[in-house]
Amino acid sequence: MDFPRPYSLTEIADLIEGKVFVKGTGDVLGMNELHIVRPGDISFVDHPKYFNKALNSDATFVIINKEVEAPAGKGLILHDKPFDAFNRLSLHFRRFKSCNQVISASAEIGEGTIIQPGAFIGNNVTIGKNCLIHANVSIYDNTVIGNNVIIHSNTVIGSDAYYFQKREDGYEKFQSGGRVILDNNVEIGASCSIDRGVSGDTFIGEGTKMDNQCQVGHDTIIGKNCLIGAFAAIAGVTVIEDDVVLWARVAINKDIVVGKGTVLLATSAIDKSVKGGKVLMGAPAIEVRQYWKNYVAMRQLPELLKKIK
Amino acid sequence: MDFPRPYSLTEIADLIEGKVFVKGTGDVLGMNELHIVRPGDISFVDHPKYFNKALNSDATFVIINKEVEAPAGKGLILHDKPFDAFNRLSLHFRRFKSCNQVISASAEIGEGTIIQPGAFIGNNVTIGKNCLIHANVSIYDNTVIGNNVIIHSNTVIGSDAYYFQKREDGYEKFQSGGRVILDNNVEIGASCSIDRGVSGDTFIGEGTKMDNQCQVGHDTIIGKNCLIGAFAAIAGVTVIEDDVVLWARVAINKDIVVGKGTVLLATSAIDKSVKGGKVLMGAPAIEVRQYWKNYVAMRQLPELLKKIK
Amino acid sequence: MDFPRPYSLTEIADLIEGKVFVKGTGDVLGMNELHIVRPGDISFVDHPKYFNKALNSDATFVIINKEVEAPAGKGLILHDKPFDAFNRLSLHFRRFKSCNQVISASAEIGEGTIIQPGAFIGNNVTIGKNCLIHANVSIYDNTVIGNNVIIHSNTVIGSDAYYFQKREDGYEKFQSGGRVILDNNVEIGASCSIDRGVSGDTFIGEGTKMDNQCQVGHDTIIGKNCLIGAFAAIAGVTVIEDDVVLWARVAINKDIVVGKGTVLLATSAIDKSVKGGKVLMGAPAIEVRQYWKNYVAMRQLPELLKKIK
pLDDT one-digit tens code per residue, C275-287: 999 999 999 999 9
How far from B215 is each of C38, C143, C189, C190, C288, CA to CA, in Å? Answer: 41, 26, 11, 9, 26
The torsion region of residue A275 among left (phi > 0), alpha (psi -120 to 50) and beta comes to beta
> What are the chain B neighbours of A99 within 8 Å (beta carbons)?
116-117
Chain mean pLDDT for chain A: 96
Q: Is B35 a catalytic residue?
A: no
CB pairs under 8 A between A and C: 125
pLDDT at C303: 87
The torsion region of residue C308 among left (phi > 0), alpha (psi -120 to 50) and beta comes to alpha
Chain mean pLDDT for chain B: 96
The residues of A whose Cβ lies within 8 A of any Cβ of C are 114, 116-118, 132, 134-136, 150, 152-154, 185, 187, 189-191, 206-207, 209, 211-213, 224-225, 227, 229-231, 248-249, 266-267, 298-299, 301-302, 304-305, 308
Query: Which portions of chain C are predicted below pLDDT 50?
Result: none
Q: Measure the CA–CA gap between C17 and A262, rounded to whole angstroms.
A: 39
> What are the chain A neighbours of C122 within 8 Å (beta carbons)?
135
Q: Which of A79, A134, A152, A218 is catalytic?
A: A218
pLDDT one-digit tens code per residue, B84-115: 999 999 999 999 999 999 999 999 999 999 99
pLDDT at A305: 85
pLDDT range class, residue A236, cuts 50, 70, 90? very high
Enumerate domains of chain B plus CATH numbers: 2-93 (3.40.1390.10), 108-289 (2.160.10.10)
The radius of gyration computed from the CA coordinates of chain B, to the nearest angstrom, equals 22
| Mean pLDDT of the B216-244 span | 98
pLDDT at A91: 95
pLDDT at A309: 73
Q: Taking CB atoms and an 8 Å limit, are C212 and B235 in contact across chains? A: no
| Mean pLDDT of the A240-256 span | 98
| Contact in structure between A204 and A183 (CB atoms under 8 Å) | yes
ipTM of the prediction = 0.96
Q: Measure the CA–CA gap between C206 and C105, rounded to whole angstroms.
A: 27
Lowest-pLDDT range of A110-114, A217-221, A294-298, B138-142: A294-298
pLDDT at C12: 98
The torsion region of residue C295 among left (phi > 0), alpha (psi -120 to 50) and beta comes to alpha
pLDDT range class, residue A304, cuts 50, 70, 90? confident
| Mean pLDDT of the B176-195 span | 97
| Contact in structure between C244 and C258 (CB atoms under 8 Å) | yes
pLDDT at B48: 96
Q: Could you tell me which of C193, C140, C198 has the C-alpha nearest to residue C165?
A: C198
> What are the chain A neighbours of B132 within 8 Å (beta carbons)?
96
| Mean pLDDT of the A58-86 span | 97
> What are the chain C neighbours of B137 within 8 Å (beta carbons)?
136
| Mean pLDDT of the B150-178 span | 96
The residues of C whose Cβ lies within 8 A of any Cβ of B are 114, 116-118, 132, 134-136, 150, 152-154, 185, 187, 189-191, 206-207, 209, 211-213, 224-225, 227, 229-231, 248-249, 266-267, 298-299, 301-302, 304-305, 308
DSSP β-ladder status, C28-31 and C2-7: antiparallel
pLDDT one-digit tens code per residue, B200-213: 999 999 999 999 99
Share of chain B above pLDDT 90, in %: 95
